Amino acid sequence: MANAATRNVFVMGFTGKTGKAVVDTLAKDTDFGRIKLLGRRQVETSVKEDSRFEQYVVNYDKIEDHTDAFSGCEAGICCMGGSGGRSMPDDQYIKINLDYVINSAKVAKAAGCRHFLMVSATDSDKKSRVTYRRTKGIMEEQLQELGFERLTIVKPGYISGPRETTRFLDVATGVVFFPLIKLFPTKYSVPAASIALAMINCIKMAEHPSVKILENKDIHTVAKETKEP
């Protein structure tokens, strides 16, 4: 089994709810050596005192110029995108959730990434008329076509946990889902921390199919598994 010095990983979309959970989980895991955080600008993080973490400022419109941000990482976690493009035009939403993801994955693979892990959505559907659902579905299909040695796609429902934003729709969605979360804790929702732990556990799996898809309930299950370092 690989040791901490050889288990290096990059994280895209590390400033969102799930991305922050990934960073927090990696910070507690001594089985990882170098951890690269890719973003469009430098930001304050909770791990600035941890020498394993390093921020890379990248231009996703010219991601091919940032091979160094991916090099040396056998695995990469992508938490980019959102769940509906509520405040942006469709073309911008597609650019961020599809073009940036696929182009970055191509560069990562060329730089030596063998295991790519992506946060998608439970209702993704490449044939849907809804932009967000269709975009996620197409993104999943195109990722599979890239031929990573290992590809993990996690498809959470409502992602619970603290939010920095107080947009009306976010608050309203939380209110609507609250009774369902209480009645069916693993069916319709999952905490961001569980998504992070499930993906990190997948990286540590000795055996992993070429494509592994985790539906919402599967995320809960895999998050509870403990992998040997």
Specify if 200 maps to a domain.
Answer: yes
- Residue 97 three-state SS: helix
- The whole-number pLDDT of residue 108 equals 98
Per-residue buried b or exposed e for 57-75, using 16+ beta carbons within 10 Å of the residue's own CB: ebebeebeebeebbbbbbb
* Alpha carbon of residue 83 to chain centroid: 13
Query: Tokens at residue 158, please?
Result: 């409502």
Q: What is the mean pLDDT of residues 38-46?
A: 94
142-146: average pLDDT: 98
Chain segment 9-39, per-residue pLDDT in tens: 999 999 999 999 999 999 999 999 999 999 9
Instruction: Tell me if 229 is assigned to some domain.
Output: no
d(CA 48, CA 35): 12
Mean pLDDT in residue range 137-143: 98
Residue 218 lies in a domain: yes
Closest residue by Cα to residue 156 from 18, 24, 10: 18
81 domain residue, yes or no:
yes
Q: Distance between CA 67 and CA 148 in Å, rounded? A: 17
For residue 137, what is the domain's CATH number?
A: 3.40.50.720
Residue type, 198: A
pLDDT at 169 over 80: no
Beta carbons within 8 Å of 86's beta carbon, 6+ residues apart: 167, 169
Q: Classify residue 172: in a domain, yes or no.
A: no
Distances (CA, A) of 182 to 44, 110, 198: 34, 44, 21
| Position 18 in a domain | yes
The answer to whether residue 58 sits within a structural domain is: yes
- Of 221, 163, 152, 151, the C-alpha closest to 190 is 221
Judge whether 202 lies within some domain.
Answer: yes
**Domain around 45:** 9-158+192-223
CA–CA gap between residue 14 and residue 12 (Å, rounded): 6
Decide: residue 26, CB within 10 A, 0-12 exposed, 13-18 middle, 19+ buried.
buried
Tens digits of per-residue pLDDT, 45-100? 999 899 999 999 999 999 999 999 999 999 999 999 876 545 678 999 999 999 99
What's the domain count of the chain? Answer: 1
Q: What does the CA dihedral 130, 131, 134, 135 come to, rounded to 10 degrees? A: -160
**pLDDT for the residue 180:** 59
Region 185-214 average pLDDT: 91
> Which residue has better confidence, 221 or 5?
221
